[in-house]
Structure 1
């Protein structure tokens, strides 16, 4: 800055030109213009505020909406038990979906929708709509202030007319009470299988192939794998040949695929430290369930230098050289190994299914 560009500070701290003539006007904060509080807009009365018949009509409308919610919840409960899991619903232009999923989704959605609409209609027509300003007060309220707070809550209840209109109270209670049942039912029905043996049975069981060993197929290419295709350090995501029948039938595809998912990796046989892992593999090529024993995520990250398999969900880590024992993370047991051999044509096959349950651990398991 040169001598001709010097400036001077005004008394309030604002910058002003040094000349004086035409200087910017300065103001202190106490001189700023203030706006008057415009106050609250005038209250507009609704029909239900002045006409008892209109209020009664609104009450019945709200109760009807809550009743429709109860009806939707009952449809959910009936559908949960009555609709067969194999029934399919076709959407023109969109494809097909399970009828059970469609009914459960729509009924639960309508149950929540009618509760919401009923509550909104109740607030719009019957609850007090006068704006109230509550001034802030110290956190340590006095007894008088606490009594006032209780009175505000009580007055709010009176304003909602829930005590004066028992029809609303009971219909809302019924809608909310029934709406909770689907969630209780879903939780109770998904806490885990009652029979652990069901988790051992997958499409790798020879009974699904007329008692013959089952070829390992690449996923998603769905082509068989020869031992010569598996080079040192390579990783294959594998499905059983019997999965083809499930694809053709189109039933329980995702469930069967999840239980049968396998990861195939070739190691140096000298690196494998557990004899059982060697015996159940072929020349260092081993196959393990791809489903994490923690909560069932897909284990698919392989680190060749350390021979570690990592679950991306919660970082459970399994050591392939130790028969996929857990070395880090929340998983509590090793990944089940699938025994593999080579058939006369050089293809990898599984002569038997898993000997351990696949997937997450449950309290029914001994280990």
Structure 2
């Protein structure tokens, strides 16, 4: 099904309206009713989208799978969820923030305005006035590189198209957090375990070994996703770590209780993310408003990983969307 889609316009498929009229859960209930299949597919999908299967459109999910590749190699569900040879394989030494740090170095730190979140973008003749609460900038072109729901919090003058506004109203973020339990050593390796877990119970149901290669300390990372993240968002950090410790002990034995320190990240509570890892489309959104994901409004351009043709939802997709809008600007500069 995913292999049949045009990654640039999945809404043009002959069955797009049919597939966009149901959720992943309704499709699973019909096509994969066995409890084991429901568990494996549901948890795998939750690990990718941080949503429950009843929340997202089947068409959106198929398009996301199709995008897990490139123009030569079509995307597959396996590539989306696999570690070896898949989307979950690599980490960046030094942290993914190095992408932003290195980019800032190339741009020049003096050319970046900090603590100036954009509040409005106003077209004045041939120039855009981009304003924050304490300063403004004039620009010939403007790139809004944010998730659709966050981009909607900017005031635009003149108003954006109705279709773009409806799109941003209808694409919420997934609900996601990460918990890192730090240990003196990666003790699970001594037992021949790789640290990966897939469970159908607990606050943390997916785990990965995030320890440094030299094993100088142990770091067990657990994803908190969808309904579990929404539930834990209501709890204090000590309550959260207590639940996760119980999960890790169940997975890795009593040594997992000896946590030295915790790092808890709840993107749902972050002002400039409000969830993650990506904005998703419930039923009916892509077929009605999907063309607005990339559509220019004059010299106002929209980027962000949601608008990528390949690896939408990943850092690769975010970079690809930047390349796309750069080409748009050069064509009209």
Structures share fold, TM-score greater than 0.5: no
TM-score category of the 2 structures, normalised to the smaller one: under 0.3
The structure number with the bigger radius of gyration is 1
- TM (norm. structure 2) is 0.21
Larger RCO: 1 or 2 (CA < 8 Å, sep 6+): 2
